[in-house]
Amino acid sequence: MCLTLANAATVLEHLNSVRPTRGYTRTLHHAGHLSPGDLWRAVDGEYPRTAILVRRHDGRIILTDQYGTTFAYPAAAVIPTAVPDALPVVNRTRPVHLSTRGTAA
């Protein structure tokens, strides 16, 4: 399951990014909803981490972040998460057709 604002247990506030990345909305989700690629806030006050591995074992959810650090939560826990802003549409142009018809050689 992918984290969205619609499936959040609680939607908190939106934060603009101070990094050269996009902003995100702080949320709370049930730990069992996380999938690889989702963002969660493992440490309060830090930028969200990306879950690269999600394991479910004996009523626990074990999340591994992009740095290889592992965190464990009860499967029924509601944990701090983040939903990234949609990517902006920039430099949208019509597709270029590579046709040689009607061109001079």
10-57 tens-digit pLDDT: 899 888 866 666 788 899 999 989 999 999 999 888 889 999 999 999
Domain count, the chain: 1
For residue 31, the SS3 value is helix
**Domain with 64 in it:** 10-84
**Any domain includes 64:** yes
- Decide: 70 and 62 in contact? Cβ < 8 Å: yes
Q: In this model, does residue 95 exceed pLDDT 90? A: no
101 in any annotated domain: no
CATH number at residue 54: 2.30.30
Tokens standing for 91?
A: 């430099």
One-letter amino acid of 66? Q
> Is the confidence at residue 96, as pLDDT, over 80?
no
pTM (2 decimals)? 0.73
What's the CA gap between 68 and 81, in Å, rounded? 18
Q: What is the DSSP string of 39-72?
A: EE-SSTTSPPEEEEEEEEETTEEEEEETTS-EEE
Residue 85 tokens read as 């802003």
Q: Name the β-bridge partners of 32.
A: none
